[in-house]
Structure 1
Amino acid sequence: MTSTLQPADTTEAVTRPGRWLALSVLVLAVLLVAVDATVLGLATPYISEDLKPSGTQLLWIGDVYSFVIAGLLVSMGSLGDRIGRKRILLVGATAFGAISVLNAYATTPEMMIAARALLGVAGATLMPATLALIRNLFHDPRERSLAVGIWGATASAGTAIGPIVGGFLLEHFWWGSVFLINLPVMVVLVLVGIRLLPESRTPNPGPWDLPSVVMSLVGMIGVVYVVKEAATHGITWESSAVGLLGAAALYGFVRRQLTLPAPLLDMRLFRNRGFSGAVLADLLTVLGLSGLVFFLSQYLQLVQGRPPFEAGLAELPAAVGAVVAGLVAGHAARRFSVRAAVSGGLAAIGLALASLTVLDQSTGYPLLGTALLFVGVGAGLSFTVTADVILGSVPKEQAGAASAVSETAYELGAALGIAVLGSIVTGVYSGFTAPAGTPAGAHESLGGALEAATAMPPATGQAMLSSAREAFTEGLTLASATGAAVLLATATAAWFMLRNQHLDSHPASKPTADQPT
């Protein structure tokens, strides 16, 4: 892949003091988002017990954040290019911390869903800004690869820190405490970021087009909603109408971007095969992984009976593998090839998911831990290299928009994965055979079954729970099989789409007016 900028004198860019300290602030923002995503899965059984959501509401609690953030990422990435990436990052981090308090003190399922949606609005400002600032901080391609690797490794570390810290908090405090851990991270990020982060923006970017923002939001939410509803309840005229509205809005968005002199998203980016291939790989990878990520904590706690802290530690191999692989991914892609690193990583995830199709209620940890380690290694390789490909495919002034596309693919994949694979688990689970007199709530979720068992005669309750746990595990194995098929197909597609793609090895030009100085 040829750099979009011509090599020139790079002394100023390469030796710029403080860029690694500035990176430490950016990875704090990534940590904030990653921790929030993982603690939700761990807290789900407690939220179910306290707020008593229906099965559908529980899925909405899990995926409304991704719905909203996917709809707004492109708009917020473009806004950061215009008003300043540092500014939007710090404002978004402050809002993220404040809205976390609202999540912590939600008292009804509806309030929790609304709080998660608002958190998505704030979260949409964070990830594109961090990647765009990395693109503007690091002009030497090898340094940028390492910086992106650290960025990705921190996200993976958050997936480890979240369950462990969250598990400790859940064993000693109420479930809302897992959201309050965002506050100290946010305070450090804002206070240190004000001093260390350089401002960067696109010169003469043109106006921020509000109709495009609305069409992007309506389109993304509408399309994801119809997929979720179709997977859960089948096709209905109401969901079809929403889906058609979403598709029309996305069509209008694309048409409008092609005619605007200063679009929110330059559609010409997708003409680059490496860019398009990397974005598609990210979307399908997250889609295939989402079922495992969302339901694994419930399996460890509600099926195998592990306490929250132990369940968090059980997921540690995935994060360790991702951290190590992320740090060496750039070197691996240059030593072998981009497509070998990405396709190999995706194949590793697919084979690991395939191994989980033999799970049962008493499966030992060696199988689970080994599978999670391979999932982490594969994800660390593929996500880090695709992020580097995406950043290196575009001019520096489009870094925010390109980063937003990358993150949109990630969040859209998560929303679709939870909707489709989550619905597979829920559908299989809801049909389990239960003794006469079992409350309807037991069929809504496994947490509901545990609660219902306390009000039933001991022998009857245990029989019901055994059947419910078996059905939940069957649903999880079916979701794992589906995810494995998606990942292996994506690995094959990436091998062809990323043909002849290479990470840059030559420095780009030194900073100009829109770059940090």
Structure 2
Amino acid sequence: MNSPSSSARPVLSPSTHGGRDTGRHRGLALVTLCLAVLVAQVDMAVVNLGTRPIGEYFSASVIALQWVVDSYNLVYAVLLLTGGLLADLYGRRRIFMTGAAVFTGATLLCALSTSVWMLIAGRALAGLGAALLMPASLAIIRVVWQDSAERGRALGIWAACNGLAMAIGAPLGGLLIHHFGWRSIFLAVIPLSGAALLLVLRSIPESSDPKGRSLDMPAQVFGALALGGLAFAAIQSHDAPALAAAVLATAVVAFVLFLRIEHGKGAAALVPLDLFSIRAFRSAMVATIGMTFGMYGTLFLVPLTWLGTGTLDATQAGLALIPMSLVFVAVSPFSGRLTTRFGARTTTCGGVAVIGCGLVLIGSGAPIASIVLAEAGLLLAGIGMGFATGPLMGVAVGAVDAARSGTASALINVARIAGATLGVAMLGALYALVHGGADGLRLAMFAGAAVQLACAALAWRMTRTQPA
């Protein structure tokens, strides 16, 4: 792997500071990155709970409420590649701070909204903040933690924040809405995002690696059309299937044009295509798509089935999901050690396969009134997520030169959101095909498990000639 340029080398290096001082600064840097990721994930979780009181307050239509949730996801998907490139070009810390500032301001705008459309605009602006924040945070980990074992431990803790957000998001949102109203779910995250913004200057060194690349506007436009079209088609697939099909076709055309442009740009491209010649990187992309395809489909359909069949009420459903999140949080910090001992191939592909087995259990228990099998399947899914999430991020950013860490971070996040978007849309369609309920959940879970196991097997095969 080529050495990064001097601008990419962290200023907090062992040669400059004592080991203890370096560890303290890195610890503070990890706290800062985890705070930002936690805030972004909690914000996504609590907004889903707030749609009903928001609708009642503004007398909003179902379509408007759908866009309260989806405007964030759409803008996030469209601008991910841009966020990753900007981090590499203009400074990872600078883009991280910009993203945190935009996210904080957008969240305040949401809290102060006087109309549902103002709230939707605030959510879209929050998606822009997240598109800058998330790739930069992963790229910073790649640059600051040069040693792969240390980076694995840092990524395990970083990944645990996703599980922690899942664990606290629903109960926190419910409590805040019940006692303080829907605006409180936005106000509650502002102090945390503000703290991350204040800590970043003290804890995170600046780094950038232009390496002859530029904004590459034609690729930006077609890449945004491709990603945005995929997200929009998934969002509209149930309500407007004809429109969704037309947008999806446009997205495919945009993707083909994007590839043609990038092929001609070579190493200066927005997404250098030679990244996909790296087997480990390809494997991480495939496994990540499989992981989020099944996982997000499960988190969408399992509570929906519980509520629809009267098995649990909303509060009970939220509580029933907490054990899975807690297992995810408990396992994730150890994923780096497991990767060092058994190899990334085992933890990533094995973790995705474990999630698939969890979905099989959930599907098998769908016709049964008891939720015991479903809980066992969710626990397995949490274990698999804990095994795989951090190592997958580590493989993706560690397989490429540090100069391309922002782009690699953006691409692995593209894989995450693409898998999640397709999983919710396709498994939701299968669920609706047999009119939902237990039969719909069983069909969707078995299909999701099949996709996950296939992706795990394909990712394993991609790296079969490489040592663990």
Q: Secondary structure at the match of 1:486?
A: helix
Q: How far does the alpha carbon of each residue in 1:93-133 deviate from its partner, in whole angstroms, 9 at most, with x for none? A: 12112212344455766555444333211110111111100
Aligned to 1:173: 180
Counterpart-to-counterpart distance in 1, 2:198 and 2:383: 34
How far is the alpha carbon of 1:264 from its aligned partner?
Answer: 1.8
Q: Of the candidates 244, 247, 261, which is equivalent to residue 242 of structure 1?
A: 247
Q: Of the candidates 324, 329, 338, which is equivalent to residue 323 of structure 1?
A: 329
Aligned to 2:123: 116
Q: How does 1:184-203 map to 2 (within 5 A)?
A: 184-203=191-210
Aligned to 1:511: none
Say yes or no: does 1:130 pair with 2:137: yes
Say yes or no: does 1:479 pair with 2:444: yes
Equivalent residues of 1:297, 1:311 under 8 A apart: yes
Q: TM-score, normalised by structure 1?
A: 0.79
Counterpart-to-counterpart distance in 1, 2:191 and 2:303: 25
Q: Secondary structure at the match of 2:15?
A: helix
Aligned to 1:209: 216
How far is the alpha carbon of 1:172 from its aligned partner?
Answer: 1.7
Aligned to 2:157: 150
Quick check: which has more Rg, 1 or 2?
A: 1
Distance change >3 Å, CA 277–CA 360, structure 1 → 2? closer
Q: TM-score, normalised by structure 2?
A: 0.87
Equivalent residues of 2:366, 2:441 under 8 A apart: no
Q: How far does the alpha carbon of each residue in 1:186-211 deviate from its partner, in whole angstroms, 9 at most, with x for none? A: 11111111222211111554432233
Aligned to 1:12: 15
Q: Of the candidates 299, 306, 314, which is equivalent to residue 320 of structure 2?
A: 314
Aligned to 1:493: 458
Equivalent residues of 1:69, 1:408 under 8 A apart: no
Q: Judge which range, 327-336 or 101-110, deviates more.
A: 101-110
Counterpart-to-counterpart distance in 2, 1:51 and 1:364: 38
Q: Secondary structure at the match of 1:364?
A: coil
Distance change >3 Å, CA 483–CA 122, structure 1 → 2? same
How far is the alpha carbon of 1:141 from its aligned partner?
Answer: 1.4
- Which structure exhibits the higher relative contact order, with contacts defined as CA atoms closer than 8 Å and separated by 6 or more residues? 1
Aligned to 1:85: 92
How far is the alpha carbon of 1:390 from its aligned partner?
Answer: 0.9
Say yes or no: does 1:27 pair with 2:72: no
Counterpart-to-counterpart distance in 1, 2:112 and 2:457: 45
Q: Secondary structure at the match of 1:208?
A: coil
Counterpart-to-counterpart distance in 1, 2:184 and 2:109: 11
Q: Judge which range, 167-176 or 225-234, deviates more.
A: 225-234
Q: How far does the alpha carbon of each residue in 1:131-167 deviate from its partner, in whole angstroms, 9 at most, with x for none? A: 1001111111111110111111112111112122112
Aligned to 2:10: none
- Give the counterpart letter for 1:328 in structure 2: F
- Give the counterpart letter for 1:99 in structure 2: A
- Give the counterpart letter for 1:319 in structure 2: S
Q: How does 1:41-120 map to 2 (within 5 A)?
A: 41-47=48-54, 60-104=67-111, 112-120=119-127
Aligned residues: 454
Distance change >3 Å, CA 391–CA 305, structure 1 → 2? same
Q: How does 1:277-288 map to 2 (within 5 A)?
A: 277-288=283-294
Distance change >3 Å, CA 417–CA 58, structure 1 → 2? farther
Distance change >3 Å, CA 244–CA 172, structure 1 → 2? same
Aligned to 1:251: 256
Say yes or no: does 1:341 pair with 2:344: no
Aligned to 2:7: none
Give the unaligned 5+ runs of structure 2: 5-12
Q: Aligned Cα RMSD in Å? A: 2.9
